[in-house]
Structure 1
Amino acid sequence: MLVGSIPELWEMWVRPMAESGKGVTKQATVEGLFSKDCILPCSFPPGNGEVIHWKKGDKNVHSYYIQSDQMKNQDLDYKSRTYLFHQNIHNGNASLKLSNLTVTDEGLYNCYVGTLETKTEWKVTLYVRVSSYYALEYQKTGSRRMLMCYAFLTYPAPQITWLLGNTSIQETNQETSRDGVLYSLRSDQNIANTTDTYHCRIHLPYANWTAEWRMEEQLSVVEGGNTTVPCDYSNTIADTEGFSVVWTRDGVILGMAAFNGTFHSSHPRAQVNQSDFSLMLHDLTTQDSGEYLCNISTPYYTKLIVRTLEVENSKGIGAIVTGAIVSAVALLVGGGVGVVFWNKVDPTLKLQCEKSEHSASVMLLVDQMEEARMFPALLHVEEENMKTELLLLQRVECIFHLTSRSQNNMKM
């Protein structure tokens, strides 16, 4: 007389009979997302008296025989997280659904299926990928500039390194937090040198992420004018899925562009160029002065480019420069060279000056400030240097003419 439960008798007699049949071993690799569900494949030739066992090492993950689940010896790590597709087992489907994945679920799983006719084995390797996020943040407080490199929700803990140019440097500070088995880390770096490029690199077994920051030369524009702030990018990067460009000024978003061709502007006088992603600014005011940041990002790369824009008050510049020019002309006339100044000016130059825009004249005025400071020395110019004197005088007269016209227009 046989003693024991039906499942135990099944294990003692039916399973050995199934295992004695012809068998085949298959392999598969599955990648699942942390906290999500995944399916581990296991197919077999349909037969009678199916016995299904899923194991990971010495852990019993899921068992099925006598047409029902047998969970008595299931490992606690998998309790209430495994599921077989019962309605498809008779069709040869012993795949296992594993829910709420965690990083400890990674590894090699063995699926054994025995019937009275055949036996089948699968070796399934599971990788659990964590949806980690990375970012480089730039902050300016007064004259202090700082970079903060972030890695969110990673496993294992990431390694973060910094480079200044091609030289390795130490981080200023680091903060780490945990969310279960996942790590989040922030690494800070003070910006002491704005002429070189800073690099932050995040290293993980399954991914590497790189970011860089640099500051470009300052742009100066007169109030009321337009300008374009360039953004250095690569065509290769622009063709990457997940590519985006975001423009900000002092932390406020001005415009953005995305890989799918979407362009958006949140400022009425700002627009992102659709061909090179530069920022076009119109009708500038002094309040538009500040640091403009272009953030170019892909899933595994970020570039921050900072450029200072200085919008100058046109009335203030006219008053300052006009005073300097008038003083220079007075010195020249008082020194006895006034005849040269008024009679030797090239008419072509006058015509050119008359056609110039006011904005262009202002730039000429700024360009000639150094020469204006040198005019007293022209009172004692030797005869052989007269050509040089005349050239300078012509340029001064041009500027004086434009400035006088500008002042008359403002009075009108």
Structure 2
Amino acid sequence: MQQAIWTFVLFWTIPLATGGDVRVTCVFTSDCVLPCKSMYHDIIKWYKDGTENAVHTFNNNKDHLEYQDAAFRGRTSLFTDQISQGNVSLLLRMVRVEDEGIYTCHTSSSFEDLEIIVWLDVKAPIKRVDIKFTDKEITCNTSKVYPKPIISWYEIPSLQTNITTETQKDDQGLFSLKSIFTYEQDEQSDTNRNQSVKQITIYTCSISFEDKSQTYTASLRQEKVDIYSGQDANIHCPVSRGDAGDYTITLRFGESSIILKPQLNNIPEQLAGINVHLAHDGKVTLHNLDMDKHTGTYICETFNAQSTIDVVQTSVQIISDIHNNGIAEVLGAVVVIMAIISLLIYYLWRRKGLKKKATLSDLTLLEETTGYIMKQAIWTFLLFWTIPLTTGDVTVTCVSTSDCVLPCTSPYYDIIHWYKDGKSNSVHTFYDKADHLEFQDADFKGRTSLFNNQISQGNASLLLRAIRFQDEGRYKCYSATSSVNKEQFVLLKVKVPVKWVDIKMTSEGISCSTKDVFPNPKISWYRDGSSENTFTVNTEGDKERLFSLSSALSQSVKENTTYSCAISLGDESQNYIASLRKENVEIYPGQDAAIHCPVSQENPGINITLTFGESSITLNYSQRSQPHTFRGKTFHLAHDGTVTIHNLENDKDSGTYICESLTTKSRGVVHTLLKINSANHHVGVGVGVGVGIAVSVIIVVIGIIAAIIYWIRRNNGQGVV
């Protein structure tokens, strides 16, 4: 009887020692700990209901994952340094929806074992709810959430409506929900809708999970504002005094958007070229709106930390005033009419005066009156037609990869904003005597600065470093105080200059080429300074909009003739000249060779490179008075660019020498074919010359002797007679 009682107690009290199941909620894609504590930790096994193999196995003080379930490979681990203290919890990484379920933590020693059940719930929280008007319906949607969400709609005032909701599940097990709020299409309800939507109706959708663990609320209302062109418009953003600045406001217009900070509500911002101010009560003021550019729908979204988004959609209708309603055309017509009337009155009065012999004073008064009318007409014309011509952009050309200054001067320097057309965020922002680059456009990060020590003197210029090709465009310099502002525009053009021109002889003539330049280059050819018109040109542009040019002059290359190609950019801002020349030089062993290099005394910083075969040496023109060594031979560089190589001896020194001069604007190349005649030929020529001289001397001597003999005989003959 006693053994039976102990057996009963043993089998019915052990399950009570586990303390019951544990429930854990894990966030989708995050890491999560499934808790388990046991002092029996010689063997630790984690299982999941519905899986054949273990989730994780540990024994003999190490993991054994040979038979781990494939769904958990690489995603599980234990806290091995804490197992001896009884912590046998499982760390599950990158939680998936399919991880949801019941897990068993089984631990044992040689005498005892323990099982703890852990319920794992997976949740992908609601991160955003979008609500908007589309035609005659309102949509509310969210995506990538788990478990399946539910939606509720509210409207004030209540109207007869129809609601349809669609839920979809993706391959990750996450849900997307879209709900459409539609009005009944009868005339009366449609009229009511138009009135209420524009003025007082607030639509609210609330998306939550069934367990009420999270609720995300979105509200929407629509308003309408009518103003005249040039006036300011006030747009209401849904801000509550209880928010205490714990919110962000996003203002959208077309493709442009800005984020407004409640802490900086006195700082002007820019949206699509519009000056924007945010007030404490959430009112956004849009300044000086233009009918053609700024008419449309403005959307103000307010996010706060309580999972709420409130949207106000404001339709701004801008009505043209008299100035924008053809004032220039009206004034033009008035000027013409005044001129015609003046001329007509003058003509009729003059004609009448001639017939009736009007007095001189009458005619003078008439002329003064008509002259005054004409003068006023001309001044009116000039005033309204020349004012628009007095404004314009400043154009700056910057070299790619260099630093560049975009000029701007202004006496209003409390706030300075630089913007670029096409960019929603600013290029550079300055206020409160400091830079504020939190919302700077990513393309300009780390590349902009102002001249802070000169701002108080009115210098609001922008220094843009490491110019890129995509920096090209129109920039706006906006400067302001609390009461006045000024706008200036800078047109930035980027140039990628010609850095190198390759000119060389080919089998068909001479080729000239360059690459990676902007704008589109042009080429001209010359021979000894005279223009050549027969050549081919090929220009190509790459995906970066950089150009490459190649050209060929198809004619045989003549000796001692200079061929030149001049490559210029399309805007004529640069002209790079490359020249080529071919020469021949013959010497005898032991003599010096003079090789000409294309240099100009106007370029004292020119570099000269002498090449023969695989050997080359580069000198600066300033080193011309010093002796140098090239391939074991001494040479000198003269003022005129002549390179004299001394004591050339054999065929190893024969061949083509290439002398190249290089500056930032030019490249000159001379190919010199050097021929060293043989020593025997030199000696033979010397012997021949010597023999010739000797024979000539003998002939001369014989001639002199013959002349003397003839003279003696002649004199003797005369004496005998």
What is the TM-score of this pair, normalised by structure 1?
A: 0.60
Aligned to 1:12: 277
| Equivalent residue for 1:340, pick from 675, 694, 699 | 699
| Equivalent-residue separation in structure 2 for 1:45 and 1:87 (angstroms) | 14
CA RMSD in angstroms comes to 4.6
Higher relative contact order (CA 8 A, sep 6+): 1
| Equivalent-residue separation in structure 2 for 1:66 and 1:276 (angstroms) | 60
Aligned to 2:513: 150
| Equivalent-residue separation in structure 2 for 1:270 and 1:345 (angstroms) | 51
In the superposition, relative to structure 1, how do residues 241 and 183 fare at CA in structure 2: closer, same or farther (>3 Å)?
farther
For 1:340, give the aligned amino acid.
I
| Equivalent-residue separation in structure 2 for 1:145 and 1:252 (angstroms) | 27
Deviation at 1:17, TM superposition (A): 11
The CA deviation string for residues 2-61 of structure 1, in whole angstroms up to 9 with x for no partner, is 745464854336797999xxxxx99866443313443434454466xx443323346454
| Equivalent residue for 1:243, pick from 602, 606, 609 | 606
Contact 2:503 2:579 in 1 (8 A): no
Contact 1:219 1:308 in 2 (8 A): yes
Deviation at 1:94, TM superposition (A): 4.5
In the superposition, relative to structure 1, how do residues 250 and 220 fare at CA in structure 2: closer, same or farther (>3 Å)?
same
Contact 2:654 2:675 in 1 (8 A): yes
The CA deviation string for residues 55-81 of structure 1, in whole angstroms up to 9 with x for no partner, is 334645436477574776x777x4636
| Equivalent residue for 1:214, pick from 581, 588, 598 | 581
Secondary structure at the residue paired with 1:343? helix
| Equivalent-residue separation in structure 2 for 1:338 and 1:273 (angstroms) | 43
In the superposition, relative to structure 1, how do residues 280 and 179 fare at CA in structure 2: closer, same or farther (>3 Å)?
farther
| Equivalent-residue separation in structure 2 for 1:182 and 1:65 (angstroms) | 34
Percent identity between the aligned chains? 22
Contact 1:254 1:265 in 2 (8 A): no
State the structure with more CA Rg. 2
Q: 1:192 aligned to 2:559?
A: no
Aligned to 1:168: 533
For 2:419, give the aligned amino acid.
K
In the superposition, relative to structure 1, how do residues 44 and 281 fare at CA in structure 2: closer, same or farther (>3 Å)?
same
Deviation at 1:154, TM superposition (A): 0.4
Deviation at 1:101, TM superposition (A): 2.2
In the superposition, relative to structure 1, how do residues 310 and 44 fare at CA in structure 2: closer, same or farther (>3 Å)?
same
Secondary structure at the residue paired with 2:427? strand
Deviation at 1:261, TM superposition (A): 7.0
Aligned to 2:679: 314
For 2:607, give the aligned amino acid.
S
The CA deviation string for residues 227-266 of structure 1, in whole angstroms up to 9 with x for no partner, is 4334454xxx422365233333356425533368796845
Aligned to 2:621: 258
| Equivalent residue for 1:34, pick from 364, 384, 400 | 400
More helix by share: 1
Deviation at 1:207, TM superposition (A): 1.2
Deviates more, 1:194-203 or 1:279-288: 194-203
Contact 1:253 1:266 in 2 (8 A): no
| Equivalent-residue separation in structure 1 for 2:623 and 2:395 (angstroms) | 31
For 2:547, give the aligned amino acid.
Y
| Equivalent residue for 2:591, pick from 205, 216, 225 | 225
Structural mapping, 1:123-162, within 5 Å = 123-139=489-505, 144=507, 147-162=510-525
| Equivalent-residue separation in structure 2 for 1:122 and 1:262 (angstroms) | 55
The CA deviation string for residues 68-119 of structure 1, in whole angstroms up to 9 with x for no partner, is 74776x777x463664559769846644343442234234422111111542
Q: Which runs of 5+ in 1 are unaligned?
A: 20-24, 347-412
Contact 1:18 1:119 in 2 (8 A): no
In the superposition, relative to structure 1, how do residues 260 and 342 fare at CA in structure 2: closer, same or farther (>3 Å)?
closer
Contact 2:624 2:639 in 1 (8 A): no
| Equivalent residue for 2:420, pick from 46, 53, 56 | 56
Contact 1:293 1:306 in 2 (8 A): yes
Q: Paired residues, what number?
A: 323
The CA deviation string for residues 286-323 of structure 1, in whole angstroms up to 9 with x for no partner, is 32222333323332223323333221122233236747
Contact 1:162 1:200 in 2 (8 A): yes
Aligned to 2:118: none
| Equivalent residue for 2:636, pick from 272, 276, 280 | 272
Aligned to 2:61: none
